[in-house]
Amino acid sequence: MIAETKQISKRVKTTASPGRKEAVQEIQSIHQPVQAKTSRQRLTAALQFQKTDRIPIDLGGFQTGIHKKAYESLLQYLETNEEVLIMDPVQQIVRPSEAILKRFHVDTRYICANGPDGFDGSIKLNKRNGRLWHDLKDEFGVIWSMPDDQGLYMDITHHPLADATIESLADYPFPDGSDPTRFKGLREQARTLYEGPYGICTGIGGVVYEYCWYLRGLQRWFMDMIENPVFCEAMLDCTLKYWLDFYTGFLNEIGDFIDVVMIGDDLAGQSGPLFQPEFYRAIVKPRQKQLVQHIKSLTDAKIWYHTCGNCQEYIPDLIDNGVDILNPVQISAANMDPQQLKDKFGKDIVFWGGGIDSQRILPFASPQEVKEHVRKNIEIFKTNGGYVFNNVHNIQAGVPAENIVALYDAAYEYGSYR
């Protein structure tokens, strides 16, 4: 780009007056953003490392959403009265209304598959140890529970394969990812969304690695990685099969109407990888890569990958897998400095998130401090395109409503390329 500008500048000095005018216009066009008439055009440009009028803004996903309690506080602050709909009972994430999404200039909308016919995904109320519990048994047989007097999150209270052997895996009733009843009505829904102006994202899936420890238990799974890696491979093959089958059916229905497919597994914690990178590269990565390449064979949508923590170790691996977008870009974790990430990987992967330190600034700072922090991060990440704004992960209970407003107002104010 610099070399191109220099060549044009030289031509300005050596041509006659009409040529000079054309060359000046050409120089200006290099620096002018691509014009975006719709949110989808804005998102598409960002995913292609182009600049538009402003950076795209995201809110409302399963990893880019807002907790019920924070949302209720926000509605009260904005003096808005509406029904609050839970989208994800495990994380207590809500589905933001169109009014709220438009208030914050959100460019994305979401579409999700259904549970299959015959699956009972309802919450059961049970009393244990003097407390009332909300229990949910998912399709894989994992039980998630939340005490009624807490109302924050569901945690796993039953790992159905805690005592399994490699021989018994063949008899376990893993769900059928290809069940066509999951996808009833989705094509019509996707077509309607596509006729609108917004970028269309899927709900998160492709949880090949993480579901293994949901089923097994984290401590037992970590021991398996050391003592019994063959068992780990067998379990990973089971979860991979489910997701391969799922995306075959899902994307055959809506693959031509969507812009982003969201998948993910947490590979890192606050300080670095959660387990040995050698295990990841030898055993987990080949299966993740197979899934990513399978998805790419079914749709032109970009692949968005979620892992929290200090994941810089794995970014080259994710790029090699075929991942296009990294989320949530946890800038408060070790080794996740925005400028370093942008300089090192900004030409190869889109950053989606990283808008603010969600552990210290968003919940505890003043609205003005929130805006200033957002401004600094946006100035780094938006350079040369390749950035979609969001908080780092979901907005949690207890975040002041005025800080949520400041977060998104700052994204709209400072995200301009003009």
pLDDT tens-place values along the chain, 418 residues long:
322 222 222 222 223 333 433 433 433 444 466 777 899 999 999 999 999 999 999 999 999 999 999 999 999 999 999 999 999 999 999 999 999 999 999 999 999 999 999 999 999 999 999 999 999 999 999 999 999 999 999 999 999 999 999 999 999 999 999 999 999 999 999 999 999 999 999 999 999 999 999 999 999 999 999 999 999 999 999 999 999 999 999 999 999 999 999 999 999 999 999 999 999 999 999 999 999 999 999 999 999 999 999 999 999 999 999 999 999 999 999 999 999 999 999 999 999 999 999 999 999 999 999 999 999 999 999 999 999 999 999 999 999 999 999 999 999 999 999 8
Report the chain's C-alpha Rg in angstroms.
Answer: 23
Token match 């808005």: residue? 80
Mapping DSSP to helix (H, G, I), strand (E, B) and coil, where does residue 39 land?
helix
Nearest CA to 161 out of 218, 242, 227 is that of 218
With helix as H, strand as E and coil as C, how does 336-404 read?
CCHHHHHHHHCCCCEEECCCCCCCCHHHHCCHHHHHHHHHHHHHHHCCCCCEEECCCCCECCCCCHHHH
Indicate the pTM of the whole model: 0.91
Helical (H) or strand (E) element with 13: helix 2-14
- Is the alpha carbon torsion for 161, 166, 172, 177 positive or negative? positive
Mapping DSSP to helix (H, G, I), strand (E, B) and coil, where does residue 57 land?
strand
Nearest CA to 388 out of 260, 196, 251, 258 is that of 260
Antiparallel, parallel or unpaired: β 108-111 and 155-158: unpaired
Partners of 389 in the beta sheet? 57
351 within 8 A of 311, measured Cβ to Cβ: no
> Cα 368 from chain centroid?
27
332 within 8 A of 355, measured Cβ to Cβ: no
Instruction: For the chain, list the domains and their CATH numbers.
Output: 1-32 (no CATH), 39-120+160-414 (3.20.20.210)
- Is the alpha carbon torsion for 163, 166, 171, 177 positive or negative? positive
**228: which 2 tokens?**
């019994």
C-alpha span between 401 and 388 (Å, rounded): 22
Helical (H) or strand (E) element with 278: helix 277-279
C-alpha span between 108 and 92 (Å, rounded): 20
Beta-carbon contacts of 386 under 8 Å, excluding residues fewer than 6 positions away, are 46, 47, 49, 346, 347, 349, 350, 351
Q: Quote the pLDDT of residue 237.
A: 98
Partners of 200 in the beta sheet? 109
Mapping DSSP to helix (H, G, I), strand (E, B) and coil, where does residue 97 land?
coil
Q: Quote the pLDDT of residue 120.
A: 94
Q: Which DSSP string do the residues of 183-228 spell out, in sequence order?
A: GTTHHHHHHHHHTSSSEEEEPPB--TTHHHHHHH-HHHHHHHHHH-
C-alpha span between 254 and 60 (Å, rounded): 19
Q: Quote the pLDDT of residue 27.
A: 32
Q: Quote the pLDDT of residue 37.
A: 85
